[in-house]
């Protein structure tokens, strides 16, 4: 396994060709992430779902619609945000990514953070929070609170898919995204 390239276009191309773990054998498309290199906010989800695997883009299914609505209500432009996942290929049956899959994709995620250099990172869901903040991270203790990751503030919140099962979480997701917008605007 070689280190990933540093520029976003080269990194995306490498992710699309990646065979670092078994997920590459079952994917339709790798989902490198999308957004501008100068994005002030990075959103990190868990893994691509069926729709994302089909299109090769993050958050395009039902959870993506929830995310788009939450971003709009929080006053954040999706087109000015870099959106990615902890793993870049869909796990079969939408299962959670395994440790070796997360480890294989981690250099890509770190390279994306280094290339974008955001003012803030928002993790979406428990799995993304654990992968970015460490295995002891829990939404129960980190959600809505700023944490540091290598000098970049990180805010953990609910995954948009959770709202599909519990609509009451939507207002919390929006409030957390507003906190992220305020952090970006402050510097």
Is 13 a member of any domain? yes
Is 104 a member of any domain? yes
Residues 6+ apart with CB under 8 A from 115: 6, 7, 8, 11, 37
CATH at 161: 3.40.470.10
Is 178 a member of any domain? yes
Is 1 a member of any domain? no
Q: What value does the CA radius of gyration of the chain take, rounded to a whole number of Å?
A: 15
Burial class (CB in 10 A: 0-12, 13-18, 19+), 130: buried
Show the tokens assigned to 61.
């299914």
Is 62 a member of any domain? yes
Q: Domain range holding 32?
A: 8-186
Q: Could you tell me how far CA 10 lies from the centroid of its own chain?
A: 19
DSSP conformational letter for 135: T
Tell me the whole-structure pTM to 2 decimals.
0.96
DSSP conformational letter for 114: H
Report the domain count for the chain.
Answer: 1
Is 174 a member of any domain? yes
Give the pLDDT of the chain (187 residues) as one tens digit per residue. Answer: 667 767 899 999 999 999 999 999 999 999 999 999 999 999 999 999 999 999 999 999 999 999 999 999 999 999 999 999 999 999 999 899 999 999 999 999 999 999 999 999 999 999 999 999 999 999 999 999 999 999 999 999 999 999 999 999 999 999 999 999 999 888 6
Is 35 a member of any domain? yes
State the pLDDT at residue 2: 66
Is 2 a member of any domain? no
């Amino acid at each position: 396994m070689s280190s990933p390239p540093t520029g976003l276009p080269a990194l995306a191309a490498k992710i699309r060709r990646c065979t670092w773990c078994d997920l590459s054998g079952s994917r339709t498309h790798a989902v490198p992430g999308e957004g501008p290199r100068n994005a002030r906010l990075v959103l990190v989800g868990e893994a691509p779902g069926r729709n994302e695997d089909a299109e090769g883009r993050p958050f395009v299914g039902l959870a993506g619609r929830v995310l788009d609505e939450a971003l709009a209500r929080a006053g954040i432009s999706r087109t000015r945000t870099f959106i990615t996942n902890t793993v870049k290929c869909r796990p079969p049956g939408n299962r959670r990514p395994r440790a070796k899959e997360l480890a294989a994709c981690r250099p890509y995620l770190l390279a994306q953070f280094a290339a974008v250099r955001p003012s803030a990172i928002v993790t979406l869901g428990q799995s993304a929070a654990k992968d970015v903040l460490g295995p002891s991270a829990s939404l129960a203790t980190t959600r809505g609170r700023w944490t540091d990751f290598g000098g970049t503030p990180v805010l953990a919140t609910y995954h948009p898919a959770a709202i599909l099962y519990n609509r009451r979480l939507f207002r919390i997701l929006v409030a957390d995204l507003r906190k992220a917008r305020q952090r970006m605007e402050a510097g």
